[in-house]
Amino acid sequence: MDDRSRRRFDLRSANGRWIAAASLLYAIALLAHPLVPNGARNSGSLVDTFLPWSWLAIPLLLFLALVRRAPLALITTLLPGLAWLGLFGGSLIDQRGTGGELTVVSHNIGAENPDPAGTARTLAKTGAQVIAVQELSTTAREEFQGALPARYRHHTVQGGVGLWSTYAMTAAEPVDIMPWPRALRATLATPKGPVTVFVAHLASVRVTSESGFTTNRRDQAADLLARAVDRDPAAKVLLVGDFNGTSHDRGLASLLDGMTSAQEVAGDGFGFSWPARFALARIDHILARGLRPTSADTLPPTGSDHLPVVASFRL
């Protein structure tokens, strides 16, 4: 081997070691992400939110390893891939089944929705027995309800959240989670016994250079809602709505504790629901306690900036 070839080989080996080291560190970072502190800027919650997209760095590492023809780097790039699969591999499997007896649709219809009536008809076409909506403006309320088929004659609206059902509804009341109505509770008389439904729209979050990921008000509302759900004696409970956070977000841990996400156990993929034009995160949820999900999915866009989410359950 002449000097030029030796230098080229040494450079390729050095680059391969750097790529291998980067891959190893990336795999460790993926597995250790719960250690990222939230602190005043809620950095941990921000990392949790977009962690499913962390796979995008893996093809880049693989490409660099291939360009440098570095065998060690090629092998090491498997590590972040395995770490990512360990975290999210289950979401790559279509877990949808059949046989659901209760279908629920939840949708943030958007305060600026230009066609609330069309949105109502779209949701009703699913055949769901339960329709839950958030961000229902006062001006859109009558138009939305008027477009629903007569079978959804049982309903309650508290502030900007509403619930329509083909089953008789009792004990409908607001749930205090914020200074203004953003959540409700009602019990539905299904053929196989009562099912209590909570519908909520948690506070919005923002990402700013000054304060980071602003989730404090959302997290406080989530804790209040979690207490209400935990205290509820009902054996069968549905918790649905726009939580402005993903199921991986540690800020929502109290709310998700003891609940089953229909999308995670009976869905296909991640079920991202926001923003509607290019969904990046699932912040709209259908959770259950005492009910077994059989399928879950998102629906095509309406006039909202969110996608509707739907799930079916065995009673």
255 contact partners, CB below 8 Å, separation of at least 6: 222, 223, 225, 226, 229, 239, 243
Name the strand (E) or helix (H) holding 67.
helix 57-68
Give the pLDDT confidence of 92-135 residue by residue, as tens digits: 999 999 989 999 999 999 999 999 999 999 999 999 999 999 99
Cβ atoms of 266 and 296 within 8 Å: the answer is yes
Cβ atoms of 285 and 312 within 8 Å: the answer is no
Q: If pLDDT is split at 50, 70 and 90, which confidence band does 14 have?
A: low
Give the pLDDT confidence of 210-268 residue by residue, as tens digits: 778 889 999 999 999 999 999 999 999 999 999 999 999 999 999 999 999 999 999 99
Name the strand (E) or helix (H) holding 47.
helix 43-50
Please tell me the distance from the alpha carbon of residue 129 to that of residue 276, in angstroms, as a whole number: 24
Q: Which amino acid is at 198?
A: F
177 contact partners, CB below 8 Å, separation of at least 6: 183, 200, 202, 221, 222, 224, 225, 228
Least confident piece of the model among 53-62, 169-178, 203-212, 297-306: 203-212
Residue 9 clears pLDDT 90, i.e. is over it: no
Cβ atoms of 271 and 248 within 8 Å: the answer is no
Give the pLDDT confidence of 15-45 residue by residue, as tens digits: 678 888 999 999 999 999 999 998 878 899 9
